[in-house]
């Protein structure tokens, strides 16, 4: 089950059923299945608070993923700052909706085992994001 909630922000205009089906298709492409995944959309101040409290990082970010996977079942909480998504969309000259979907799937890709901090990992993550976004645009 995939849930979508907010804390201090308005729910973004995403089609939940279609988005959930897309997420499940991406997860399946990694040989896994979706268990319990919860999205929480927040503002910059809330994500900074979460980043400090749980990760001891003192900076803003667009997404934080908490991984509770069990074997081939994807479980986790994904916190997304809509403020940072909007800022990044402007910074990279992307449509807000496109950047939002990129961040939505970025968290899922972490739950599927991809990382983006080590050497070469960022490029692998970006390639996986682009492939997933193509799946969405092609209605998988």
Annotated binding site for Zn(2+): 106, 110, 116
**108 close to 26: Cβ distance less than 8 angstroms:** yes
H helices of the chain, in order, are 16-29, 44-55, 82-91, 96-111, 121-137
φ/ψ of residue 66, rounded to 5: -105, 115
Q: Phi/psi class of residue 84: alpha, beta or left (left: φ > 0; alpha: ψ in -120 to 50)?
A: alpha
Mark the binding-site residues, compressed into ranges: 106, 110, 116
What whole-number distance in Å separates Cα of residue 60 and Cα of residue 112? 24
User: Would you mind telling me the total number of residues written for the chain in this entry?
Assistant: 140
């Amino acid at each position: 089950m995939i849930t979508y909630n907010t804390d201090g922000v308005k729910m973004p205009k995403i089609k939940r059923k279609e988005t959930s089906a897309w997420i499940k298709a991406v997860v399946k492409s990694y040989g896994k299945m979706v268990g319990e995944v919860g999205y929480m959309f927040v503002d910059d101040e809330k994500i900074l608070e979460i980043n400090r409290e749980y990760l001891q990082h003192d900076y803003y970010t667009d997404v934080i993923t908490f991984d509770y996977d069990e074997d081939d079942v994807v479980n986790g909480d994904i916190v997304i700052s809509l403020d940072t998504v909007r800022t990044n969309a402007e910074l990279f000259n992307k449509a807000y909706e496109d950047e939002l979907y990129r961040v939505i799937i970025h968290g899922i890709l972490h739950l599927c085992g991809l990382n983006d901090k080590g050497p070469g990992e960022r490029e692998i993550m970006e390639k996986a994001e682009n492939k997933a976004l193509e799946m969405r645009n092609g209605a998988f």
